[in-house]
Amino acid sequence: MEYYMKNKFIILISSLVFALFSSTSAKSESITLGWAAWDPANALVELSKGFTAETGIDVNFEFVPWPNFADRMLNELNNQGKTFDLLIGDSQWIGGGAVYGHYVKLNDFFDQEGISMDDFSDATVYAYSTWPKGTPNYYALPAMGDALAWAYRKDWFDRPELQSEFQAKHGYDLGVPKSWDELYDMCTFFQGREIDGQVRYGAAINTERGSEGITMGVTAAMYAWGMQYENPDKPYEMEGYFNAPHVVEAVEFYKKMYEDCTPPGHSDAYMGANLDAYKSETVAFQMNWYAFWPGVSKEDADGRVTGFFANPCQETCAATLGGQGLSVVSYSDKKDLALEYMKWFAKPDVQAKWWSLGGYSCHKDVLGASDFVDSAVYAQGFLDSMGIVKDFWQEPTFVELMLPMQEHIHDYVVNGKGTAKAALDNIIEEWVEVFEADGKL
């Protein structure tokens, strides 16, 4: 009996060890992908099931909320962490990713697998993949095209009594604003207005202090006023460009928008807060990324409530770039599996499915398809925007450049401290210090 029990015990232990090993070996065929926690991430989870079905490789995800996204991911990269095999990193990280060796250079892999960057929209390749900018050195595959845009309450705009009142007051139709001046007129028109027994406000715009929010908002105006960060002929010379009179005017305009158009308490708002203000029917306009439009649109099946439009022009037409590229982390032990995922992701049919699930493909086959413009109400706006996008510095020191911008712009726009010119001068002063420390000046 004792012998029998002993045998049984050995069999049990053996099975447990076998089960443990077999589960470990199954787990070794998996990769981890890091991205921000937002709507498109859910679409990517859905899409990646296809990869697992095709290859048997599991894809694990770690999605970090936007306010902590840069902190978490850059910390991981700086510590040469192995948590992530693939990273969908923000466009501004490409410089640091390349220079500090966080990302794998993909040129050889692309050549070997026949992946051509010519198949992807030029603006997105430039923005998400190349470092130094515009050179054929690729550190990411354009994964998620995005730009800052606007949604508006079409159902309120369609009301005849509001239309005639607006027409009488401003002398033109209440509709999609063609300039920031028109946007301001419309925002102030709705500010404090009672509609269906509830007080409404003009616009939910980016004012967040902690990460990148207010910078991503104010640059939408600055680009439209024709802002350039530096002298095109003399890199890093910012005096007279970044603080030129028309840029000062743009910043002052954004402050005017904040003061006259936003709902009370909208002083530290970014993506989530703008969506909330819009969904709770508090505001007529919201500024946000295209990434959120599939979600907004889904709740408005007949397209009666919401309309979308690209960033309005002013002196010129431009939009703030969002979006990200897919990179392989150089510290990963599973780079081969990660590259396999990238190869799969670059396929035109996968890219088409990516768009249909709510991701913004940058593949020319998808963007150039005859039915693309009709496939979503915001598709035309997306195409228009991606042709005019501009991005913040993508230097390896971009966080050091972002922080003074956040501080001084927030100090002027929300806190009301100083002047727009002084804010821009202060930013330049700190940027010069950063570029000097980096040996660029």
DSSP codes of every residue in 399-438 = HHHHHHHHHHHHHHHTT--S-HHHHHHHHHHHHHHHHHHT
Contact 135, 399 (CB under 8 A): no
Which residue in the set 412, 420, 427, 428 belongs to the binding site for another protein (CB under 8 A)?
Answer: 412
Mode of pairing for the β-strands spanning 30-36 and 58-64: parallel
Residue in 209, 256, 364, 421 binding another protein, rule: CB under 8 A: 209
Q: What is the dihedral of CA 223, 227, 231, 233, to 10 degrees?
A: 50
Residue 297 interacts with another protein (CB under 8 A)? no
Q: Does 294 bind another protein (CB under 8 A)?
A: no
Cα angle, residue 239 at apex, residues 388 and 404 outer, rounded to 5°: 75
Which is closer to another protein, CB of 80 or CB of 164?
80
Q: Are 323 and 146 contacting, i.e. CB atoms less than 8 angstroms apart?
A: yes
Q: According to CB under 8 A, which one of 91, 206, 282, 385 is a site residue for another protein?
A: 282
Under 8 Å between Cβ of 286 and 308: no
> What angle do helix axes 160-170 and 180-190 make, rounded to 10 degrees?
120
Q: Which residues, other chains included, contact 352 with Cβ-Cβ below 8 Å and sequence gap of 6+? A: 361, 363, 365, 366, 369
Q: How far is the CB of 413 from another protein (least distance, A)?
A: 9
Nearer to another protein, 315 or 400 (CB): 400
Residue 212 makes contact with another protein by CB under 8 A: no
Which of residues 119 and 430 has its CB atom nearest to another protein in the complex? 430
Q: Which residue has the tokens 């102030």?
A: 188
DSSP state of 162: H
Question: Is residue 89 involved in binding another protein (CB under 8 A)?
Answer: no
Angle between helix 398-413 and 213-224 (nearest 10):
80
**CA separation for the pair 9, 18 (Å, rounded):** 14
Task: Check residue 206 and give left, alpha or beta (phi > 0: left; psi -120 to 50: alpha).
Answer: beta
Q: Which is nearer to another protein, 349 or 429 (CB)?
A: 429
Q: Identify which of residues 219 and 314 has a Cβ nearer to another protein in the complex.
A: 219
> Contact between 267 and another protein (CB under 8 A)?
yes
**Taking CB under 8 A as the rule, which mask of x and - marks residues 217-236 in contact with another protein?**
--------------------
200 binds another protein (CB under 8 A): no
Span from 23-31, 302-310, 321-329, 396-404 in contact with another protein (CB under 8 A): 396-404
Q: Is residue 153 close enough to count as binding another protein by CB under 8 A?
A: no
Distance CA 215, CA 226 (A): 16
259 binds another protein (CB under 8 A): no
Smallest gap, in angstroms, from Cβ of residue 311 to another protein? 24
Token pair, residue 162, equals: 């509001």
Is 239 a binding residue for another protein by CB under 8 A? The answer is: no
Q: Which listed residue (336, 416, 419, 436) binds another protein by CB under 8 A?
A: 416
Q: Which is nearer to another protein, 219 or 385 (CB)?
A: 219
Distance CA 296, CA 307 (A): 10
Report the site for another protein in 55-74 (rule: CB under 8 A): 70-71, 74
Decide if residue 158 touches another protein (CB under 8 A).
Answer: no
Total residues at interface with another protein (CB under 8 A)? 31
DSSP at 226: T
Distance from C-alpha of 313 to C-alpha of 307, rounded to nearest angstrom: 17
**252 belongs to the binding site for another protein (CB under 8 A):** no
Q: How far is the CB of 312 from another protein (least distance, A)?
A: 25
Stretch that binds another protein, among 133-141, 353-361, 382-390, 406-414 (CB under 8 A): 406-414
Determine if the peptide bond prior to 160 is cis (ω within 30°): no
Residue 75 or residue 316: which is nearer to another protein going by CB?
75
Token digits for 392?
A: 């913040």
Which of 56, 65, 101, 235 forms a contact with another protein (CB under 8 A)? 101
Catalog residues that contact another protein under the rule CB under 8 A.
70-71, 74-75, 78, 80, 96, 100-101, 208-210, 263-268, 282, 399-400, 403, 407-408, 410-412, 414-417
